[in-house]
Amino acid sequence: MNIEVKKFDELNTTTLYDILQLRSEIFVVEQDCVYQDLDGKDQKALHVIGKKNNKVVAYTRVFRSGDYFEHSSIGRVVVAKDQRQYGYGKVIMNASIKAVKEHLNEDTIKISAQTYLKKFYNGLGFKEYGEEYLEDGIPHVAMMKK
């Protein structure tokens, strides 16, 4: 899998379409969650894109401090269902953590993690804090990496 890091205005229409299609496929259809994915924040984000055979198979969006949360953040973490057995979740998250450090020059990262993925994020150095909460009807927990 090849990793690209791009600002919104550097995305071509095909890549943007592929990103939005993947997000919809997983977050709306697979997770059966009706929510407003196009939230007006993509324009502020760095987009970390994992491509395999020129197809988007993994993705996150990264924000600098103050653009989403008080601290820099990583969100919309997604891997295509048929690509999950290859460890691309870890690859895309490590690339996203690196993007926070190299592109934003920040170290502290906050995520809003689906609760069932706590162990996965713990393995990447994130620690949960606070109580579990519902976000779009799905249990989540706030996590930080410093």
The tens digit of pLDDT for each residue in 64-87 reads 999 999 999 999 999 999 999 999
Query: Is the residue at 127 inside a domain?
Result: no
Position 13: which residue type?
Answer: T
Query: Is the residue at 36 inside a domain?
Result: yes
Query: Is the residue at 144 inside a domain?
Result: no
What residues does 51 pair with on adjacent strands? 2, 56
Q: Which residue, among 85, 96, 81, has the nearest Cα to 126 in the 3D structure?
A: 96
Q: Classify 121 in phi/psi space as left (phi over 0), alpha (psi -120 to 50) or beta.
A: alpha
Q: Which residue, among 97, 15, 11, 100, has the nearest Cα to 51 in the 3D structure?
A: 15
What CATH number does the domain containing 24 carry?
3.40.630.30
Query: Is the residue at 131 inside a domain?
Result: no
Query: Is the residue at 113 inside a domain?
Result: no
CA distances from 44 to 66, 79, 81, 103 (A): 11, 22, 27, 13
- CA angle centred on 129, ends 59 and 22, rounded to 5°: 15
Per-residue pLDDT reduced to its tens digit, 17-59: 999 999 999 998 888 888 888 999 999 999 999 999 999 999 9
Q: What percent of the chain has a predicted confidence (pLDDT) above 70?
A: 100
- Edge-first strand order for the sheet with 72-79 is 2-7, 46-52, 55-63, 72-79, 109-114, 138-145, 127-135
Query: Is the residue at 132 inside a domain?
Result: no
Range of the domain at 89: 2-107
Instruction: Report the C-alpha gap between 12 and 47 in whole angstroms.
Output: 12
Q: For the chain, what is the domain count?
A: 1
pTM: 0.94
Q: Is 98 exposed, middle or buried (0-12, 13-18, 19+ CB in 10 A)?
A: middle
Neighbouring CB atoms inside 10 A of 5's CB total 17
Query: Is the residue at 136 inside a domain?
Result: no
